Structure 1
Amino acid sequence: MHPNTSREAEQSHRPSLRIGALAPLTPPGWVEAGQHLLAGLELGVKEVNGRGGAGGTPLELVVRDTAADPLRAAAAVDELAEAGVAALVGEYHSVVARAAAARADALGLPFLCSSAVLDALTEEPTEWVARLAPAQSRGWRVYADFLLAAGHTRIAVVAGPGVYWAAGTGILREHFAAHGGTVVGLDLSALTPAAVCDALAAHRATAVLVLAGIPEPAVPVVRAVRGDRRLAGVLIGAPAGQPEFAAWAAALGEAGAGVPFLRYLPERLTPLGSRVEAALRERLAEAPSFVAFEGYDAIAVLADVLETHGADRARIAASWPRVSVEGTRGRIRFSRAPGIGVWQWAWPAVQVVDRDPAHPGRFRVLHTG
């Protein structure tokens, strides 16, 4: 089905409650992340409708492909608002979600952001936006703690252009400086993979974090570092989660193992989460990523809000602080976290994970926070 078509609700003579969904489903977006997000959203809608809908009314998911384009996302929000959706869910890319959040706030359209982590999701505090994913400052500080505990006090960051990568670099710099460490920044847009290796050798960094999209330009950098004898002992990291997805393993094979990344899963899923994991695995024909659980949880929250408060947009937005829903990864409640301008689940579990070098298809939990 074309990503810009409506996902039909179960057949019913009653009108449906329409929910707009944003996801990156074509390049240059991280398509696998978008597919997992959409799988979670669709499963959530299917199960709600299987129980008779929200307050007796079936849900209908109206999907728009953002393709990692903020302008496209903003236009989609306008279109979905005009089409009469009760609320928005989704989006993986932080800069895209920020554009969507700005339009949703301006239009008075509730937006439950499932997966984007940029702290400044909105310029000013808003009542219209809530978020399930942890703020970037939360997750990336946990990642920095993992590196520090492993003895890495001098790291290099190889970053592409963009607000998200710049924000992550700033979080790392601040955290390492507070603990006596240093962060060397390398501009990926100005360096070839070979030049990156030369810089790493010159700076004597013990870890290099690749802050860039996949497959380009992250994969060539990882290959170059892995193949450089001078850097045999250097840890490669990817806090943004690139190694979570099969495309990373397919592109890099064994070279993609042993690269720690962030994911937002607890040590144990809730009983609901275990059941949902099996259903998602069947739907995706592979193990679901944390992004799929975020999608499912977003629908669980919205269905509860719609059932309790109805489809009026203002009432939905006013309900964020009263949400208390059992999700796949714990009980979801929203509050005002310091420095965060949206209603925030504070906090989902954070893990640092890698692919086991002995079995690259298996993940190892290295650190929790």
Structure 2
Amino acid sequence: MHRDTRPSPPGAERADETPVRIGVLVPLTRPGWVEAGRHLLAGLELGVRDVNGSGGIAGRPIELLVRDTAADPEKAAAAVDELAALGVAAVAGEYHSVVARAAATRADALGLPFLCSSAVLDELTEQPTEWVARLAPPQSRGWRIYADFLLGAGHRRIAVAAQRSVYWAAGTRILRDHLTPRGGTVTELDMSALTPAALCDALADQRATALLLLVGVPDPAMPIVTSVRRDPRLTEVLMGAPAGQPEFAPWAASLGDDGVGIPFLRYLPERLTPLGERVATGLRERLDEAPSFVAFEGYDTVAVLADVLRAHGADRARIAAAWPGVAVDGTRGRIEFARAPGISVLQWAGAPVQVVDRDPAEPERFRILHAG
């Protein structure tokens, strides 16, 4: 039998065009913070659209395999197992810290790279790991900056309305450790035992000058805000929400004037990079509203992963080994990962941190009150 040994014509052998799969963890149903999940996913999807539109990863498109965590750590860990079995090159995303910790722990055990977009709990894994990197600033840094804001505004008697969780407990500890040596006091009020009305009585008795909402939304955060605003004994009490509850549009839509003037942490610079300005336009079109910092975290996640994948391919071990060498111009600044004291994962040390609130005169506008 004659065998044709002539060379194939140009283009007959096509490059590998199979997608590079990335697993995505986001809260898309309750009790997850659905609005945060929606913004995070919008940023991730816009990032993928831009990467694929510019040629993908050596001609291979990125494909996102999205899994809803619904703020459930067990569901997140199971999703990591599933995504690993499906052959993803890495996992990305998540907003809730306790959920991200479960995902990071499982990814570390499996040898699966995880780029955490938005969760801040310092110890995402019990032991230091090479497999996990994070874009959001650690809770200890952000919440100390928030405590400095309180001190600068003259607040020394601080009350926290807290629910039981590792995240809220860590936040309370950070605040107390930072404020106490500087003459402040932090009193914890357990919202599993108090109604909003009883909370108001406790605030009046203790003469607290600031109340921090370390609770979920919409309940009990919004009923607490309404009760405090309606109590004539508490007109001078500053309400704050370091975890960022007032960031999203449903807060303003539900609370109206009651929801303004409540300072919270936001991870944006005073000015976005030129890339950030362009991305902001795309995010606004995709979301049909102003993008939150969480949406920019999502976009930056894809920017980092695309840079690593282009340089090192889709091999999991090579991706994880590349975290310390990352140097990517993101929407909010230049992203580089390093080890930080007390932080178990590779960390973007330069993540911007602001304390902002909704302007009482213009609730759709955010005022920058403090930066660190």
What is residue 70 of structure 2 aligned with on the other side? 67
Q: Is residue 207 of structure 2 the alignment partner of residue 179 of structure 1?
A: no
Q: Does the 8 Å contact 1:70/1:100 carry over to 2?
A: yes
**Paired position in structure 1 for 2:46:** 43
> Does residue 1:360 correspond to 2:363, yes or no?
yes
TM-score scaled by structure 2? 0.95
Q: Which position in structure 2 is the counterpart of 1:5?
A: none
**Is residue 16–residue 60 contact of structure 2 (8 Å, CA) maintained in 1?**
no
> Residue deviations 1:146-199, cap 9 Å, x none?
000000011100001100000000000000112111011100110000000000
Matched, 1:169 2:168: no
- Among 259, 262, 285, the residue aligned to 1:259: 262
Give the Å deviation of 1:13.
7.9
- 1:225 corresponds to which residue? 228
Give the distance between the partners of 1:178 and 1:56, measured in 2 at CA.
56
Amino acid at match of 1:116: A
Matches within 5 A, 1:70-149: 70-149=73-152
- SS of the residue aligned with 2:355? strand
Query: Take 1:57 and 1:178, find their aligned partners in 2: how far apart are those partners?
Result: 55
Note if 1:329 corresponds to 2:342: no
Higher Cα Rg, which structure: 2
Check conservation: 2:269, 2:353, Cα contact below 8 A.
yes
- What code does the residue aligned with 1:112 have? L
In structure 1, the partner of 2:273 is 270
> 1: CA distance between counterparts of 2:252 and 2:179?
30
Asked whether the equivalents of residues 158 and 188 of structure 1 are also in contact (C-alpha less than 8 Å), the reply is yes
- The list of structure 1 runs, each at least 4 consecutive aligned residues, that deviate by more than 4 angstroms after superposition, is none
Give 1:347 deviation, angstroms. Answer: 2.4
Q: Distance in 2 between matches of 1:204 and 1:55?
A: 62
- Is 1:270–1:327's contact at 8 Å kept on the other side of the alignment? yes
Segments of structure 1 that go 5 or more residues without pairing to the other structure are 1-11
Q: Are the counterparts in 1 of residues 16 and 59 from structure 2 also a CA contact under 8 Å?
A: no
- The C-alpha deviation readout for 1:325-351, integer Å capped at 9, x for no partner, is 000000000000010010000021100
CA deviation vs aligned residue, 1:80-120 (integer Å, no higher than 9, x gap): 00000000110000000000000000000000000000001
| Paired position in structure 1 for 2:296 | 293
Aligned identity (percent) is: 75
What CA distance in whole angstroms lies between the structure 2 residues aligned with 1:263 and 1:60?
Answer: 29
1:281 aligns with 2:284: yes
Q: Following TM superposition, by how much is the alpha carbon of 1:50 offset from its aligned partner in structure 2, in angstroms?
A: 0.1
Residue 269 of structure 2 aligns with an amino acid whose one-letter code is: P
Q: How big is the alpha-carbon RMSD for the aligned residues of Structure 1 and Structure 2?
A: 0.9
Q: Which amino acid aligns with 1:130?
A: A
- Distance (Å, rounded) in 2 between the aligned partners of 1:102 and 1:129: 9
Q: For 1:247 and 1:105, how far apart are their aligned partners in 2?
A: 35
Name the residue aligned to 2:154: 151
Contact 1:236 1:259 in 2 (8 A): yes
Shift of 1:235: 0.3
The aligned residue for residue 340 of structure 1 is: 343
Shift of 1:249: 0.8
What TM-score, normalized to structure 1?
0.96
Q: Which runs of 5+ in 2 are unaligned?
A: 1-14
